Chain A
C-alpha cells in the first residue's frame, strides 16, 4: 500500500499553488489513510485490471465538429473587467522570468 507522509502532501499542495495550515495537513493525512486503504480494496477486486479505464459515462462517439466560422470577439473592456490589474489593455502580472 502506498504510504503518505506530510512531506508528500506539502509538496503536492505547493505544486497546486496554495498553502494549508499544519492542522489541515494532519486532517488530510487521516483522509488519505482512509482513501488509500479503500483504494487498496479496489485493487483486490479480482477483475479490476482486466478492463479499460472509463472516462465517459457511456462509450459514445460523435461526428460533430465546429465549422471554422469566427464569432465576434468580446469588447476589450468587457474581457478585462474582472482582472485585478490591467495596463495598456493587457492583464498585468509581476515580472515573469524563465
Chain B
C-alpha cells in the first residue's frame, strides 16, 4: 500500500502529518510511470519533477494540492517542456509559456511529472490516433480494449495509480468518456469556468479544460484550484466560483433529476441499465425527485453530424497555423507554399487530414448555409431543448456510455452510418457548455462502466454533490486498475 494510491485529500493529510514527503511521492510516481506499459506518456519529466519535489519541505496546511504529483495531456502548453499535441507536426516544439492551468497548479506546488498521450490534436475518441500509437486501458491486461480518447494518457495515468489527478480536455466527451471506460471521475466544467489559455485549440466553442480524479471530493479540490477568471482568455468567465468543497456536501433531497427517455431507451448493455435503474432508486430514497422527460428524437439523432461539422470546421481553421515555418520540424521547398505543404503533408495523420477537409468543405461559401450554419442552428435547437428541461429540473442523469470500454477492433474514428444515441449524448454538455461529471457506476467482466450527471451552467457545486452521493451508493470510490500497484 502506497500513499500514492490514496485520494488527494488523504495524501494531503499524510503530507501534513509528515508521514510522506513530496519527494517520496514523486519518486514512486516516476517509477510507476516508467514501468507502465499502457503507452500513456509523451514525455516523463524526471529531472524537473524531482527538482520541484526536493524544494518542497514545509507542507502548506491549507493547500490541498501541495506536493501532489499530476500529469497533463500533451495539448497544454508547458514552458520549456516539449509539447506535441500528439502530432508529428509539432515534434520538437518547445513552448515559451505555460498554460494558465499549468501555472495555477505550479503556484499550488502540485508537481507535474509528465505529459500524456492523446488522439492527435485532441481530434478523436479512441486513443489510437496520436503519433505515439495506441494508448491502452490499464483495466485490460490483454491490451485489447481502449481507454477511449482523446485524453487517453491522462486517463490511463490516474486509473493505473501513477498519479491521483490529471489534466485533460473535453470537446465532445474527451474527458468524460475515457473516465467512464477507466473507472474515474471525469469532470468537464461549464464552458468558460476554467481558462483555456495555453490549451491547444480543437474547437474553441466546444473546448473545455477538464480533469480526472478518483473521487468526487478530489474533483472539488481540483476545480477549486482551477476555477478563476483569466484576462488572457476572453471567454473565461468573470463570475466568482462557488466554494465547491462546501457545496459538494449538499443533500439531493428535493433536487429534481431528469432522465431523458430516448437516451436510456437507446441501446445499452442490459447490465448498465440495470445498475442505472438501481442507482436511480437509491437517489429517490435520498429524496431526489426523478422524472423521465422526452427529448426530440430528430435532434438527438442530429447530434453527431452537428458535432462533426462544427468541430471540424473550427479545427481546420485552428490548425492553419501549423505550417512548419514558425515551429515544427524544419521545412523548405521551391516556394513558401511548397514548404508549408511539405510540412503539413508529413506532419498530419491521415485521419486529421480527412477531418480538416470535412471542416473546410463545410465552411465554403456555397456550402455554409446547408452545412456549417445549419449545424449551428441545430446546436441552438438542441441547447434550447436542454434549457427547457433545466427550467423544471436541476440535473440530467444518464449512463455515460452503452457499455464498458470497446475493443480496438470494434471502434473506429471513421465516420460510419452506425449510430447510437447512447454513445453520443455526452456532447450535449459541450453544445450548451453545461457542467458534466462522469463517474463509475459498476463493473462488468472486470471493466468499469459509468454514469453521467450534468447541471446548469456554473452550478458545478450541485453536480459535484450529485456525484458524491452516487459515489456513496456505488462504493466505487478511489478505484485503481488491479495489478498496477505494488504493495
Contacts and interface: CB of A to CB of B under 8 A. Distances in A.
Q: Note whether A and B contact each other (Cβ less than 8 A).
A: yes
Interface of A: 2, 8-9, 12-13, 15-21, 24, 27-28, 30-32, 34-35, 38-39, 41-45, 47-49, 51-58, 62, 64, 66, 74, 78-79, 81-85, 91, 93-97
Which 7 pairs from chain A and chain B are nearest by CB?
A: A84-B330, A57-B433, A53-B376, A82-B327, A38-B305, A54-B380, A18-B344
24 contacts: A12-B361, A15-B360, A16-B353, A18-B353, A20-B354, A28-B354, A28-B357, A31-B354, A34-B415, A34-B416, A34-B417, A35-B309, A38-B302, A42-B375, A42-B378, A51-B381, A53-B377, A57-B430, A58-B433, A62-B238, A82-B93, A82-B328, A84-B331, A94-B336
Contact of A54 (B333, B340, B357, B383): B383
B334 interface: yes
Contacts of A27: 350, 354, 414
Given A12-B357, A16-B360, A93-B339, A49 B333 contact: no
B324 interface: yes
B354 A84 contact: no
B302 A18 contact: no
Interface in B34-83: none
A31 B298 contact: no
B381 A57 contact: no
A51 B339 CA distance: 43
Contacts of A81: 94, 96
A49 B416 CA distance: 26
A74 B96 contact: yes
Nearest to B431: A57
B250 interface: no
A97 B374 CA distance: 38
A94 B332 contact: yes
Nearest to A74: B96
